[in-house]
Amino acid sequence: MKKLFISLLLLPGALFTACTSVPESQQPQHVDYMLTNGTIYTVDSSFSVSEAMAVSNGVIVGTGTTQDISSRFSTDSLVDLKGQVVYPGFIDAHCHFYRYGLGLQWADLTGTSSWEEVLQRLEEQRRQYPNTDWLLGRGWDQNDWPVKEFPTRADLDRLFPNVPVLITRVDGHAALANSKALVLSGVTAASKVEGGRVVLQNGNPTGLLIDNAVDLVSTKIPAPDLQEQTTALLEAQRKVFAVGLTTVDDAGLDLSTVNLIDSLQGAGSLQIRIYAMLNPTEENMLRFFESGPLKKDRLHVSSFKIYSDGALGSRGALLLNPYSDDPHNHGLLLSQPFYFEEMAKKLHANGFQMNTHCIGDSANRLVLDTYAGVLGEHNDRRWRIEHAQVVTREDQQKYSRYNIIPSVQPTHATSDMYWAGERLGQERERTAYAYQDLLKQAGLLALGSDFPIEDINPLYGFYAAVARQDEKSWPEGGYQAENKLSREEALKGMTIWAAYSNFEEQEKGSLEAGKVADFVVLEKDIMKIPVRETRDTRVLHTIVGGKKVY
C-alpha cells in the first residue's frame, strides 16, 4: 500500500523529468497490456474503428493504429489480436439478474410446445430435486401450444398431490398453482386482490392467478437463505459473462440483495457491474432517501423501478381501447394514478431516476404525462419508461419533449409477433414495438432483454433489433420492418446509450482513453457478417476492468 502511494507521488515528477530531458521523443508509457492488429469498434462519437488499444490499471489509456499505440506505449504483455473483433462490453439495460440466478434452481419451462411437455419437465425437476419444499417453475407460454387455453390445476394435483407447485408464465404476470399451494396460501374462491384476479370456473379457483394475485401464493414460498442467494448471484454472473455482458441493470431489488451484492463485490467474488433499480419498498426509500444515490466501482444505485400495468400476453397491459380479442377487457392498472404522481414527486425531490414498467398505450400515456408534470421540458433527469411497448403516435413525441428514455427489449418483438396482432388489431399493432419510431423521437434507446423472460444473450437482442425475425428467419423481410434498427444503432443501444441511461456514459459504453476496460472479443464481426449469423456469434473473451472473466 505504502509503496503504491509513493510511486503515485513520484509519477508526475517522473513525467516532468522525461518531458524536459527528452523534449522531442517522449518516452513510451509503460502499460499493463496492449492489444494490436485487431478490429476494435470503439463506439466513440464518430463510431471509429481502431486497430490497437492500451490498458493499464483496468482503464483504457489509448486507442489508435497498431503503429501509433506501439510507439506511445510499452508493455511486457503484448496481445496480437490477429484481426479479431472487439466491442465495448455489452450492457443489458433491463433484466432481472438476481431473479434469473434464483430461477436457475427452478424448472425451466421456456420453449415448451405443449402442456404435456410442461408436466414432463416438472416430473423431471422433481426427480432431480426430490427434497425441495416447493416445486417451482417458470417460462410457460400457452400461446406456443396447440391448445392455447390457459391450463388448470387438475394435472398438477394428480401428479403432485403432496407438494406445493407454482409455475409462472413467461411474462411473470400469470401463474398456475396446484391445490396444495392454494391451501397453504389460503387462496379460495372468495380471495380478492387489487390489480389481480383469482380465476374461477364453476365457482372454484382453476389455479390460475393473474397479476397481483400471483403474490398471494408466491409470497408464501420460503425465502432463499444467504447461501442460496449468494449462489444465485455467482451462477448468474458466470452465465452472463459467457455471453459478453459486463454491466446488468437489475430491474427491481430489495435492500438485502443490494447489500449482498455490495459485500460480494467488495470481497472480489462478484465482478459484474450492476446498475440497481430499487423496488419501491418503505425500507428502500428510508435507506436511500436518507443517503441519496450510491455510486461505487461496480455498483450504482440511482433509480427506482415502478410497475404501472401488466403484460400483453396475459391481457394485463392497460389499453386505451379494449383488447381486440377480448372486447370487454382494457387490462389492469396496478396502482391508482395518484400513486405514480406521489412516487414521481418523491423520487424527483430525492434525486432518483424513475423507471416505470409500461406496456399498454394507456399505461404509457398515464406515466409519460405524470413524468412530464414533474420534470418539465428541459431536464437531465433521464427518467425511463421500461418496455414502452404500445405507444400512440401522439405520445411518442413526449419522449423528446421531456427527455424521457425508452428502455426497450427487441426480443419481445420477435417473441410476441405471432400473437400481438390478435391482442391489438392491425392498426394498433403498428404502434407496438416501434423501436425506430421511438429512436427518432428520443434520439437514443436503451436496449435490454428482460431476462429471464427472454434469453440472456445480448446478441439475440441485436439480431431481433436488426432483422426483426425469429431464429428461423421468419417472417421474410422482418416483422414491421419499418421499425428495424441499423446495426450501428443496435450496438449503441447495448453499449453507449445504455450507459447514458445509467448516467455512466463518462466512464463506460465506449472504448476510449479514460474509460474502464470493459470489452468483448467476438468470433466474427457482427457489423459485417450476414445478419442471420449475428445471433449465434460466439463470445471468445469477456473482460471487465481490464481483467479476463471469460
Return the number of the residue (92 or 437) whose C-beta is nearest Zn ion: 92
Q: What are phi and psi of 413, to 5 degrees?
A: -60, -45
Q: Could you give the 3-state DSSP secondary structure of residue 350?
A: coil
Which among 504, 59, 511, 71 is positioned nearest to 300, based on CA atoms?
504
Which among 115, 85, 128 is positioned nearest to 541, based on CA atoms?
85
Minimum CB–partner distance for residue 357 and Zn ion (Å): 6
Longest dimension (CA), the chain: 92
State the pairing for strand pair 165-169/59-64.
unpaired
Minimum CB–partner distance for residue 270 and Zn ion (Å): 21
Return the number of the residue (54 or 306) whose C-beta is nearest Zn ion: 306
Number of residues that bind Zn ion (CB under 5 A): 2
Return the number of the residue (252 or 478) whose C-beta is nearest Zn ion: 252
Cα 95 off chain centre by: 3
Question: Does an H or E element contain 266, and which?
Answer: helix 255-267
Minimum CB–partner distance for residue 298 and Zn ion (Å): 21
Minimum CB–partner distance for residue 386 and Zn ion (Å): 6
DSSP string computed for 159-194: H-SSS-EEEEETTSSEEEE-HHHHHHHT--TT---T
DSSP string computed for 468-483: ---TT--STT-TTGGG
Minimum CB–partner distance for residue 145 and Zn ion (Å): 24
Q: Is the peptide bond before 337 cis (omega within 30 degrees of 0)?
A: no
Minimum CB–partner distance for residue 450 and Zn ion (Å): 4
Point out which span in 119-127, 195-203, 444-452, 471-479 binds Zn ion (CB under 5 A): 444-452
Using CA atoms, how far residue 210 sits from 117, 387, 388, 542, in Å, is: 22, 20, 21, 39
Minimum CB–partner distance for residue 528 and Zn ion (Å): 32
SS3 of the chain: helix, strand, coil, percent, to 5: 35, 25, 40
Return the number of the residue (205 or 252) whose C-beta is nearest Zn ion: 252
Contact letters for Zn ion, residues 465-484 (x by CB under 5 A): --------------------
Return the number of the residue (142 or 355) whose C-beta is nearest Zn ion: 355
Q: Could you give the 3-state DSSP secondary structure of residue 95?
A: strand
Looking at residues 199 to 238 of the shown chain, list those that interact with Zn ion (rule: CB under 5 A).
none
Return the number of the residue (384 or 484) whose C-beta is nearest Zn ion: 384
Point out which span in 233-241, 373-381, 420-428, 445-453 binds Zn ion (CB under 5 A): 445-453
Minimum CB–partner distance for residue 94 and Zn ion (Å): 6
Minimum CB–partner distance for residue 261 and Zn ion (Å): 18
Minimum CB–partner distance for residue 524 and Zn ion (Å): 30
Q: Quote the CA–CA distance of 354 and 403 in Å, as a whole number.
A: 13
Return the number of the residue (448 or 546) whose C-beta is nearest Zn ion: 448
Return the number of the residue (107 or 248) whose C-beta is nearest Zn ion: 248
Q: Which residue is nearest to Zn ion (CB)?
A: 450
Written as nine digits, the cell of 375 is 420534470
Kindly state whether residue 309 participates in binding Zn ion, applying the rule CB under 5 A. no
Q: Quote the CA–CA distance of 261 and 233 in Å, as a whole number.
A: 8
| Amino acid identity, position 381 | R
Return the number of the residue (54 or 272) whose C-beta is nearest Zn ion: 272
**Sheet of 52-56, strand order:** 59-64, 52-56, 33-36, 78-80
Q: What are phi and psi of 227, to 5 degrees?
A: -65, -45
Minimum CB–partner distance for residue 335 and Zn ion (Å): 17
Return the number of the residue (96 or 273) whose C-beta is nearest Zn ion: 96
Task: Tell me 22's DSSP state.
Answer: S
Contacting Zn ion (CB under 5 A), which of 309, 450, 489, 504? Answer: 450
Point out which span in 369-377, 425-433, 443-451, 510-518 binds Zn ion (CB under 5 A): 443-451
Minimum CB–partner distance for residue 251 and Zn ion (Å): 5
Return the number of the residue (117 or 215) whose C-beta is nearest Zn ion: 215
Is residue 397 classed exposed, middle or buried when 0-12, 13-18 and 19+ CB atoms within 10 A define those classes? Answer: middle
Point out which span in 24-32, 59-67, 309-317, 442-450 binds Zn ion (CB under 5 A): 442-450
Helix locations, 87-165, DSSP H: 97-103, 115-128, 154-159
Return the number of the residue (92 or 450) whose C-beta is nearest Zn ion: 450
Contact letters for Zn ion, residues 246-285 (x by CB under 5 A): -----x----------------------------------
Point out which span in 97-105, 175-183, 272-280, 446-454 binds Zn ion (CB under 5 A): 446-454
Interacting residues toward Zn ion by CB under 5 A: 251, 450
